[in-house]
Structure 1
Amino acid sequence: MVRIVGLISGTSVDGIDAAIVDISGKDLDIEVKLIAGQTYPYPAKLRERILEVCAGATISMVELAELDDAIAQSFAEAAMDIQKGHEPATLIGSHGQTVYHRAPVIQGIPNPTKTLGYSLQLGRGAVIANLTGITTVNNFRAADIALGGQGAPLVPRIDAALLSHPQESRCIQNIGGIGNVTYIPTKTGDWLEKIRAWDTGPGNSILDLAVTQLSQGIKTYDENGEWAATGTPCQALVEQWLTQEYFHLPPPKSTGRELFGVEYLEQCIRDAQPYQLSSADFLATLTELTAASIVSNYRSFLPQMPQRVLIGGGGGRNLYLKKRLQILLEPIPVMTTDEMGLNSDLKEAIAFAVLAYWRQHNTPGNLPSATGATDEIPLGEVHVAN
């Protein structure tokens, strides 16, 4: 058994999710026990700077280095704080903070050439290892990208290990800043090769930006979806937004704030002006887009609809969003991963602890059927504490 701290800050930039887990076993046959978990908000100015960079703000190399250092410091502090009162961990798996993600680009017809993707996560593993005194694994996306993959999503193999079922096909729908799905067929035959996963589109990112703007900074998110629940979605707008090219690209595919960020919200606001929507109606319409884009992805790209949908991430706490998903997916039951024994808020922090564990055991962490990589490979760079 190995005690590991998993760390991640997602595209919502809400803060650093930290989880202590005990892991034992090999490959997919692992046992994971959550010991403790907590979210550590970024200092306000640091969060603001991260969001600016994610939105495309110009930044000098000096400023980039300072931002990288500040994020690494915050991650190290979270790793040390979460261990207080517990037996210490011997390994850290840190995803870091994504500030830029570019999917692979295919150019040229009829002789296509593929340009490798690129993904930048700040919060250097070497600094975290030095500050905590604990060996740290980070930069998990690079190896998959080097093999032609999207570098995302990286959770499908963990979903397969922890949430597969011998008689039931499932979609594991994470709703963070961006939504991503893992489709897991029934656990029989060559089931692992049939797993599919991709980013479905916006999750909470557009909603959070809209709430911040509509409330003039008083709120940063719609708690439980209560504000949106008082409005009425504009279906004509939802249908218009669903014509966006990304929703119709076949998997494997990945996206981020580069597409579904500030500029996208500004376009949504312009599109909504002729309808003279209230703030609640606008939020309800954006929420409907998240739900409808998820369902549209399922119907367009899954080999068959799942028998159950399990939600993870912050979107699982948005009761209005969950209700809309349930209505659109009837009669398929929509639940949270909590109901299956896996903490939905800490699911991704747990995932990067597992990826660090697999890296130490030289076990592949990616699924080529999900990312488009040419092969399986262990993920992450190892930084030994001095």
Structure 2
Amino acid sequence: MGQAIQGRRVVGLISGTSVDGVDAALVEITGTTDDLQITLLNGATYPYPEALRSQILAVCAGEPLSMAELAVLDDAIAAVFAEAAMQVQVGYPPADLIGSHGQTVYHRPPQPAHLKGKATPNRVSELGYSMQLGRGALIAYLTGITTVSNFRAADIAAAGQGAPMVPPVDAYLLRHDTLDRCVQNIGGIGNVTYLPAKAKSALLRGWDTGPGNSLLDLAVQRLSNGKFTFDRDGAWAAQGTPCQTLVQQWLQQDFFHQPPPKSTGRELFGVAYLEQCCQDAAPYQLSAADLLATLTELTAASIADSYQRFLPHLPDQVLLCGGGSRNAYLKQRLQANLESTQVGTTDDFGLSADFKEAIAFAVLAYWRYWDIPGNLPEVTGARRSVLLGEIHLGDQNTA
């Protein structure tokens, strides 16, 4: 779509599995891959209206919708995303491009026949399926800005997981010359990017590690009778003592033993999973704080366990991002599970921990605009590199 690749202002948008609201990042991007440069101009989180958030969570939990209701929900989410895109630009020149991940409401990884390595799926069900609401066409229409959306579809069509999407961006922004790093996002679901030192020839890797904040947030809402939606700083959990016997029992779940590539969501680590955890915990007569501490330990221990199982060795550094990076107790427990590894946040290395995922989708949109493939087959399991995202032209497009 052009020749020179420099100086584009792009808005990245995402709402994760915690369904807290829309994270919006306005960034200035130059370069392409090895020379990629990012400047965060503005970032903010725009909460969903409570009624809309409740509806999204209900749909994620399996509540049925008619097609008419699905269309209304799709448009309502797109309207919130469009408003977030406009608000984050206030005080700045208009953006050239928007990259919107949308709101995931359903994710089904590829079925076992594909994971066992069949050369050509002979049934549609062997491909994965993922649905993100908040259609890009409406965002482009409401903002007048060209919008890239539906990023997962092309990777899934190439027999990939469609997730995680951010490892290639992490690779260009956070890889170190001599240190091995893991960039660990802790949203509703946790996902990791393994970045071996540039001096090594080892492959990058990435996968979903399991629950991040999903079970914690659901438990807080349950234990507080809806008064609170999350455990700020992990303060409630920090008052309890984790039941390590339960944690070890939960770590026997099949997902934790499945080798990458792999992805997951609330379909597994959601309401039903929490209910089972509560049933498992009943004989131990845990206090509310003990239960939260134990669920927090599950998140920390599952991350550490996945590193030990699937990496050649533990990393020198772990860089946290996402909402869980602000949970001081969770960070403390992760450090305890990774004694020899330095645990910090991406903030410590110049990349916003709060808005890294939104920044990543700004970059993915930028790459799509310039016809640069955005997936990593070694991470998602796709058969080839592909362009990610569908382009919807805006009336005021200046890119």
- Structure 2's unaligned 5+ residue stretches are 1-6
Q: How does 1:31-46 map to 2 (within 5 A)?
A: 31-46=37-52
Asked if structure 1 preserves the Cα contact closer than 8 Å seen for 2:216 and 2:230, the reply is yes
Which deviations, in whole Å up to 9, do the C-alpha atoms of 1:154-199 show, x marking residues without a partner? 00000001000111110000000000000010113645xx001000
Shift of 1:27: 2.1
Asked if structure 1 preserves the Cα contact closer than 8 Å seen for 2:114 and 2:127, the reply is no
Take 1:30 and 1:242, find their aligned partners in 2: how far apart are those partners? 38
1:245 pairs, out of 254, 264, 267, with 254
State the AA in 2 paired with 1:71.
I
Asked if structure 2 preserves the Cα contact closer than 8 Å seen for 1:28 and 1:160, the reply is no
TM-score (norm 2): 0.94
Take 1:313 and 1:108, find their aligned partners in 2: how far apart are those partners? 31
Change (3 A) 1:84 1:111: closer
State the AA in 1 paired with 2:12.
G
Could you say what the CA RMSD is over the residues aligned between the two structures, in angstroms? 1.3
Asked if structure 1 preserves the Cα contact closer than 8 Å seen for 2:304 and 2:338, the reply is yes
Which deviations, in whole Å up to 9, do the C-alpha atoms of 1:268-314 show, x marking residues without a partner? 01111000000000000000000000001000001221111100100
1:49 corresponds to 2:49: no
Shift of 1:108: 9.3
Take 1:184 and 1:4, find their aligned partners in 2: how far apart are those partners? 25
Identity %: 65
Take 2:364 and 2:95, find their aligned partners in 1: how far apart are those partners? 15
Report the equivalent of 2:322.
313
State the AA in 1 paired with 2:254.
E
* Secondary structure at 1:277 match in 2: coil
Take 1:262 and 1:110, find their aligned partners in 2: how far apart are those partners? 29
Report the equivalent of 1:89.
95
Take 1:327 and 1:37, find their aligned partners in 2: how far apart are those partners? 31
Take 1:361 and 1:108, find their aligned partners in 2: how far apart are those partners? 31
Report the equivalent of 1:126.
137
Q: How does 1:101-250 map to 2 (within 5 A)?
A: 101-107=107-113, 114=121, 115-188=126-199, 190-191=201-202, 194-250=203-259
Take 1:200 and 1:341, find their aligned partners in 2: how far apart are those partners? 24
Asked if structure 1 preserves the Cα contact closer than 8 Å seen for 2:21 and 2:46, the reply is yes
State the AA in 2 paired with 1:186.
A
* Secondary structure at 2:42 match in 1: strand
Take 2:166 and 2:174, find their aligned partners in 1: how far apart are those partners? 11
1:281 corresponds to 2:290: yes
Take 2:380 and 2:360, find their aligned partners in 1: how far apart are those partners? 16
* Secondary structure at 1:107 match in 2: helix
Change (3 A) 1:335 1:110: closer
* Number of residue equivalences: 384
Report the equivalent of 1:369.
378
Which deviations, in whole Å up to 9, do the C-alpha atoms of 1:235-263 show, x marking residues without a partner? 11101100000000000000000000000
State the AA in 1 paired with 2:382.
A
State the AA in 1 paired with 2:159.
G
